[in-house]
Amino acid sequence: MNYRPLADTGIEVSDVTLGCWPIAGLTSPGVNEADSLATVAACFELGVNHLDTAYMYGRDGESERLVRRAIGERRDEMTIATKGGLHWDQATDEAQHDARPETLRRECEESLRRLGTDRVELYYLHAPDKNVPVAESAGELRRLLDAGKTRAVGASNLNVEQLEQFTAECPLAAFQPPYNILLRDIEEDTLPWCRERGVAVLVYWPLMKGILGGKLRLDQDFSGDSRAKYPQYQGDEYRRNLELVERMREIAARTGHTVAQLSVRWILDQSGITSAICGARRPDQIRDTAAASDWQLDDRDRADFEQAIAERGTAAAKRLF
């Protein structure tokens, strides 16, 4: 496993981060506690030293509580990121925004209790709240930073204007957007903005919620599946994406790697990217994606992959937030 600096914080994070949303069990069928604990525990053997969770990952903080149990006395071997400003509403069974300063402080304190620690390495504003100026939320995160509740501050799902407002009130070490070969809008604005300022970029959805993992079928049934709302999973877009995956399968096989590893490797090779956040609910899933850190595409395979991506086009690469 390779490691990269988290901006100028002195913290280093692994190329591949474990995304701890799936172990909360909210949208992943078949999740069980034993697999969830084993998935987090597998990170030690793999060299994955960064765990990404959030206050709202679970109806009652299941993800953070499982992280605490899985790492046990080895807390200091891990860098932990969590997020505030979103919570799971029990009445509506939906995510609700609340990024008021008092809420962020309360959620941070509760996250620390769930995680069994006195600080995290990285605390994010999970998403902007249309009812709260970004600067107000950032000001509270600055106070949490000054109080030692977190070693660094990040923001997720902001646009450039919001990032400017945020950094006027608080030092920004990390930005977390969605990014993959089908969803590349950050290349237009936020990624260059972060590169110019030395902000680490840790991206989620590297497999576009599974389609770039190479295991979905054209006749896949997405009824009752939240993925059905995304353009990448609809109609002709879905068919074209699976055609791209088949070309990826040929390239991956030639290199002795999996489609998922090829997807993650491409992300890690993009300028300005610090880490790919790969969700997993079983140990075999994080073992698969973690292996993307330890190899490089040769010139031929990289050229073939870039050609396949270019021929697919970017019709589905639309901003989702």
Q: Is 57 a catalytic residue?
A: yes
Q: Which amino acid is at 218?
A: L
CA distance linking residue 147 with residue 104, whole number of Å: 14
Q: How far apart are CA 231 and CA 52, in angstroms?
A: 26
Reported in sequence order, the residue ranges of the chain that DSSP labels E, i.e. its strands, are 3-5, 12-14, 16-19, 50-52, 79-84, 86-89, 94-97, 122-125, 153-156, 174-176, 200-203, 273-279
Helices (H), 74-176: 101-115, 134-146, 160-167
Q: How far is residue 2's CA from residue 17's CA, in Å, rounded to a whole number?
A: 11
Q: Which of 55, 57, 179, 230 is catalytic?
A: 57
Rg of the chain over all Cα atoms, to the nearest angstrom: 19
Distance CA 105, CA 140 (A): 7
List the one residue out of 175, 108, 113 whose CA is nearest residue 147: 108
CA distance 269 to 246: 21
The residues annotated as belonging to the active site are: 57
